[in-house]
């Protein structure tokens, strides 16, 4: 179990594949001495808060938080202190904004199921991979072909005046304010 999945630990390669980084909190699920409370409060699963132990779907919870953040621009669980953030995680206190895409909302909602035994992916990753959100992904071809799309065009030329030597922009989009 990784136990610290968050945007800072997800890296994007030059061919637009996501790589996981920072394995300092990794442990085996059955390891009592290594499976103690850890992680970033904004992405920590409720079972970590109630039992101090990660489940096999704790990382899926964190991915659900990251998915939410990719669409909204902030993590789902907010608070003016770490304590209040953790209380909101325990109570599953968050809302989807009206513009959240339906398939993404369904997947995110199922990833953020408070009961780890009912969380999508508890019965294996095929459950997640077959979700309609991923309907355009050819999982057999994923490592062979880049997942570059029209959204991932190189914006470096457009922004060359503000980029340092060797930097490039790999993604840019419109920012919407409510």
* 4 is annotated as an active-site residue: yes
CB atoms within 10 A of CB 61: 27
Residue 108: phi and psi, rounded to 5, are -60, -45
Residue 12: phi and psi, rounded to 5, are -110, 125
Query: Of residues 4, 30, 106, 154, which has the active-site annotation?
Result: 4
Q: What secondary structure, in 3-state letters, does the chain show? A: CCCCCCHHHEEECCCCCEEECCCCCCCCCCCCCCCCCCCCHHHCCHHHHHHCCCCCCHHHHHHHHHHHHHHHCCCCCCCCCHHHHHHHHHCCCCCCCCCCCHHHHHHHHHHCCCCCCCCCCCCCCHHHHCCHHHCCCCCCCCCCCCCCCHHHCCCCCCCCCCCCCCCCCCCCCCCCCC
The set of catalytic residues is 4
């Amino acid at each position: 179990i990784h136990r610290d999945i968050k945007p800072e630990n997800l890296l994007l390669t030059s061919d637009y594949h996501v790589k996981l980084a920072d394995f300092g909190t990794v442990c085996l699920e059955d390891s009592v001495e290594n499976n103690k409370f850890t992680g970033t409060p904004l992405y920590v699963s409720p079972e970590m808060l109630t039992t101090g132990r990660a489940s096999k779907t704790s990382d899926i919870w964190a991915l659900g938080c990251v998915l939410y953040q990719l669409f909204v621009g902030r993590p789902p669980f907010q608070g003016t202190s770490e304590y209040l953030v953790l209380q909101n995680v325990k109570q599953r206190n968050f809302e989807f904004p009206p513009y959240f895409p339906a398939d993404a909302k369904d997947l995110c909602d199922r990833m953020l199921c408070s009961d780890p035994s009912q969380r999508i992916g508890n019965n294996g990753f095929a459950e997640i991979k077959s979700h309609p959100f991923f309907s355009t992904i050819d999982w057999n071809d994923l490592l062979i072909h880049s997942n570059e799309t029209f959204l991932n065009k190189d914006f470096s030329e457009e922004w060359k005046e503000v980029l340092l030597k060797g930097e490039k922009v790999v993604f840019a989009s419109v920012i919407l304010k409510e």
